[in-house]
């Protein structure tokens, strides 16, 4: 089921990131050594009134000395228009309406997207009256909040989820397998999709940036029903202004969020770059099914060991993706492209897999017998039982005696035991530990 996207829009210093972090709360987890995780997080999952959604923080663009603020706001608002299901337009209640606010409002009004006007920094009753002037923006009734004090957030979220298209929550999850093809510009994403579709549906060009938006194509065959999403490539930061690049990530990010399987395409003649790690790092964080497709394999000089050597090198660069499936193709000649959907379907099946509680606990009991948990402090972790509570991605809960007895190396051992026993190749899995005191 696709989660609605909620974009937070507004000029600098109105409190977008403060509001974003306040709503996300403990859901934002910074792991510094994991590719795809940045200190300046631009997305987070959230929920309200049983609705799950993804927030995009479009804050942080500061106008350069040579650029007009209105030009920057147009860029910011345009991306929000293209990607969001609901837009939260944030203004500063203490400063009042500015020309930049009016410019963004004009653009958003034309978008015909649902918009929630939020007046931030209303920290006391005396500031309430400041909200009245924002009716001039023509965006409906403003909702007053204080992001720093968490005042008024419930009313705001009530209005946000009330604007969701309920069809998003009612669609048949089993009907289509959604595949996002991601990667840098000019690695052959559009060529691969055209080859799979058997027609020139996506523009193919050797000019980076030809694909400007995420493009959906439906495909039905003997393997099932698929939606193929061709995404705009993310350029290296050295070639673009860092803050503007932050927004170009959003299209790829939302495509990954809404996909079941993420295919990272790599140019065999270039190898893996930091940008490739960042792109697929997003999918890894979201526990998606993941494939690494190495394109332009026809341009590589080969011997009997070339493919094995390339795969080892890639796995060394993407150590956090030890579970990913690999495929070497040529989208131009069609070499092995017929295997792409076959392997994607295998990844999806593992992504959708469910394990019975009884069999799961048998495997864990054997794993503990083979290797006891280490003593942490003065105690040893005891696993009472485990159960799978969800799939897409597979999620397991382990009930243990004391969270302070957990050790990362043993947690990795248990995950590997589950992967080896049940074949979760090609998909991320999530394991949550919950403390349950002895009676």
- Which residues contribute to the annotated binding site for GTP? 10-17, 57-61, 120-123, 183-190, 230-234, 295-298
Q: State residue 358 phi and psi, 5-degree precision.
A: -65, -50
Determine whether 201 is exposed, middle or buried from the number of CB atoms within 10 Å of its CB (0-12, 13-18, 19+). Answer: middle
**What pairing do the DSSP bridges indicate for beta strands 51-57 and 43-48?**
antiparallel
For 145-184, b/e burial (b = at least 16 CB within 10 A) is bbbeeeebbeebbebbbeebeeeeeeeeeeebbbbbbbbb
Q: What is the DSSP letter of 273?
A: -
Pairwise CA distance, residues 265 & 183, whole Å:
5
Pairwise CA distance, residues 230 & 36, whole Å:
20
Which tokens in the block code for residue 437?
């005191």
Contact 427, 393 (CB under 8 A): yes
The H or E element that residue 365 is part of is: helix 357-370
The H or E element that residue 215 is part of is: strand 215-221
Which of 219, 170, 212, 164 minimizes the C-alpha distance to 192?
Answer: 219
Which tokens in the block code for residue 89?
């337009």
Q: State residue 386 phi and psi, 5-degree precision.
A: -135, 155
Q: Report CA-CA distances (Å) from 31 to 39, 272, 315.
A: 9, 21, 20
Q: Report CA-CA distances (Å) from 198 to 217, 284, 294.
A: 12, 30, 20
Residue ranges at the known binding site: 10-17, 57-61, 120-123, 183-190, 230-234, 295-298
Within 8 A by CB and 6+ apart from 205, the residues are: none
Q: Report CA-CA distances (Å) from 402 to 91, 362, 416.
A: 45, 21, 22
For 278-307, b/e burial (b = at least 16 CB within 10 A) is bbbbbbbbbbbbbbbbbbbbeeeeeeeeeb
């Amino acid at each position: 089921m696709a989660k609605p996207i909620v974009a937070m829009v507004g000029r600098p210093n109105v409190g977008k990131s403060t509001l974003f972090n306040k709503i996300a709360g403990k859901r934002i987890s910074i792991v510094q050594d994991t590719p795809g995780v940045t200190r300046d997080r631009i997305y987070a999952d959230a929920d309200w009134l049983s609705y799950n959604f993804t927030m995009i923080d479009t804050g942080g663009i500061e106008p350069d000395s040579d650029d007009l603020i209105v030009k920057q706001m147009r860029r910011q608002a345009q991306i929000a228009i293209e990607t969001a299901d609901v837009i939260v337009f944030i203004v500063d209640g203490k400063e009042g309406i500015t020309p930049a606010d009016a410019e963004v409002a004009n653009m958003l009004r034309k978008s015909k997207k649902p918009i929630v006007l939020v007046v931030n920094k209303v920290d006391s009753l005396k500031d309430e009256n400041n909200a009245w002037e924002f009716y001039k923006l023509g965006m409906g009734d403003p909702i007053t909040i204080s992001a720093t004090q968490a005042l008024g957030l419930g009313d705001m979220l009530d209005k946000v989820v009330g604007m969701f298209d309920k069809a998003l929550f009612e669609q048949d999850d089993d009907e289509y397998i959604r595949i996002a093809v991601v990667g840098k510009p000019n690695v052959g994403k559009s060529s691969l999709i055209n080859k799979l579709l058997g027609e020139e549906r996506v523009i193919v060009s050797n000019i980076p940036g030809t694909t400007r938006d995420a493009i959906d194509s439906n495909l039905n065959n003997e393997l099932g029903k698929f939606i193929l999403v061709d995404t705009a490539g993310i350029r290296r930061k050295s070639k673009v202004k860092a803050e503007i690049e932050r927004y170009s990530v959003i299209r790829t990010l939302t495509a990954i969020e809404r996909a079941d399987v993420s295919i990272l395409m790599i140019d065999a003649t270039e190898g893996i770059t930091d940008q490739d790690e960042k792109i697929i790092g997003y999918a890894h964080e979201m526990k998606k099914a993941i494939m690494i497709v190495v394109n332009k394999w026809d341009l590589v000089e080969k011997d009997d060991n070339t493919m094995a050597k390339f795969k080892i090198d890639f796995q060394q660069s993407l150590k956090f993706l030890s579970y990913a499936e690999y495929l070497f193709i040529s989208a131009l000649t069609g070499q092995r492209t017929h295997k792409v959907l076959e392997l994607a379907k295998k990844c999806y099946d593992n992504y959708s897999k469910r394990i019975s509680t009884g069999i799961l606990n048998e495997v864990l009991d054997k794993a503990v017998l083979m290797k006891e948990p280490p003593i942490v402090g003065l105690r040893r972790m005891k696993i009472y039982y485990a159960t799978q509570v969800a799939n897409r991605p597979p999620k397991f809960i382990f009930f243990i005696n004391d969270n302070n007895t957990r050790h990362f190396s043993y947690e990795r051992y248990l995950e590997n035991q589950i992967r080896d026993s049940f074949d979760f190749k090609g998909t991320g899995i999530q394991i949550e530990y919950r403390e349950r005191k002895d009676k």
